[in-house]
A and B are shown apart, each in its own frame.
Chain A
Amino acid sequence: MTDLEVVKSGTTWLELSIGRNARGLTVHAKCVPELETFVKSLGSGQAMPASAYGRDWLPIDPYTSLQVYDLAKPTGNFRLTKVSEPFMSREGVLNLAFLRLVGLSSPEGVKFVIPGPAPKSFVTDLSADLLKNCRDFIREFLVPVHINLRISSQPV
C-alpha cells in the first residue's frame, strides 16, 4: 500500500492510499472540505452514480454505491471527465476524476477498487504521477492567490 499526501502551506489537502491485491487496484482517498466544495462547484452540484459513467470503479463495500458530482466547467489540462475509467488512458493521460467522488471530505473518505491487473511498476509510477498532478491541481485552482492592482495617474 502506497500512502500519498499532498501538503500545501501546512494544510494536508489530500490523502491517498493506493494498493494492489487480487481484486485489482484499491484506492482510499480523503480530502479537506474546501477541495470537495470546489469540485462540487464545477457543476450543478448534483450527484450521479459512478455506474452511470462506466464500469471500472467498484465500491469496496458492495452494499454502498459510489456517487460523483456532475461536471460542467473545464479544468484546463487536468482530466476530470473520465469517471469510472482507469487512472491512465492509453495515451498516458492521468485521470483525476476520482476527485469528483461524493464524500471525499468525510472523516472516513471514499474507498473503491479498479478491477484488473496492475503491475508493481505501474503502481509505483502511478503513485508518483498522482502526487505530482494532484499537487499541481491544488496549486492551480485552490491555493489562495491575492493580487492588488492600483492604477494611478498624475494631473497634467
Chain B
Amino acid sequence: MSWNLNDGLELVRAIQPHCKNYGYHIALGGGVLNAGESEHDLDLYMLPLNNEKKYGPSRPDDLVVFLETLWGKSADIGTNYRPDDDQPFEEMPFRGRAVYGWEVAPPIRALVNEEGVVPLGNPWINPHPKVFKKVNSTYLRSLKFFRNDGTERIDVFIAN
C-alpha cells in the first residue's frame, strides 16, 4: 500500500509526543518527503533530543519496544525476513531478467523470472563470491516494520 505526505505527517504527529518520552524526536525522509509519495515504504528517522534535563537520557531499546507495541515485531533492514511470516522467504520474485543466485545474499532456494520458477541446486556453490564492503552506519538501529497484514512497510532509522 502506498504512502503519501499526509499519511506520513499524520503518523509522525500521532507518535511524536510519545517518542519524546524515550529521548527521541522524528524526522520524515525518503520518497514520501522527497517526492510526496512512495509505493514502497515510509522512512522515519529517530534523532536523539540531547536534552537530558527535560527528557532524560535517550533510550533506543525502549523506543524499539514502544514501536513494536504499535506495529508488531521489527526486523533489521538487510535481513531477508518479514516479521509477519515468522520465517525467512523461501522464494523471492525477480521479474524482468534472470538473476544468478550468487548475486543475492542471503541465499534463496528458488528464483522467479520470465521462465517461471527456477529451482536452485543444493548445496549451493558460489564460484564468484561477492565481497561486501563494511559500512560504518550512522544509525544505531535500522529496522523494518510490516503492518496491516504485511501490506504497509515502515522503515525506522535510529541515530546514536
Contacts and interface: CB of A to CB of B under 8 A. Distances in A.
Interface in B12-67: 14-15, 18
A85 interface: yes
A5 interface: no
A104 interface: no
A81 interface: yes
A48 B15 CA distance: 8
A70 B21 CA distance: 15
B147 A70 contact: no
Contact of B70 (A53, A72, A89, A90): A53
A22 interface: no
Contacts, number: 34
B148 A52 contact: no
Contact of B148 (A48, A72, A85): A85
Interface in A58-79: 70-72
B70 A52 contact: yes
Contacts of A51: 10-11, 14
A55 interface: yes
Contacts of A56: 148
A52 B11 contact: yes
A54 B149 contact: no
Interface string B77-88: 000000000000
A85 B147 contact: yes
A49 interface: yes
A80 to B, nearest CB: 12
Contacts of B76: none
Nearest to B71: A53
Contact of B147 (A54, A72, A90): A54
A153 B147 CA distance: 56
A75 to B, nearest CB: 14
A42 to B, nearest CB: 12
B7 A55 contact: yes
A86 to B, nearest CB: 8
Contacts of A72: 69
Contacts of A71: 69
Given A52-B11, A52-B18, A55-B148, 14 more contacts: A48-B14, A48-B15, A51-B11, A52-B15, A53-B70, A53-B71, A54-B147, A54-B148, A55-B7, A55-B152, A56-B148, A71-B69, A82-B148, A86-B148
Interface of B: 7, 10-11, 14-15, 18, 69-72, 147-149, 152
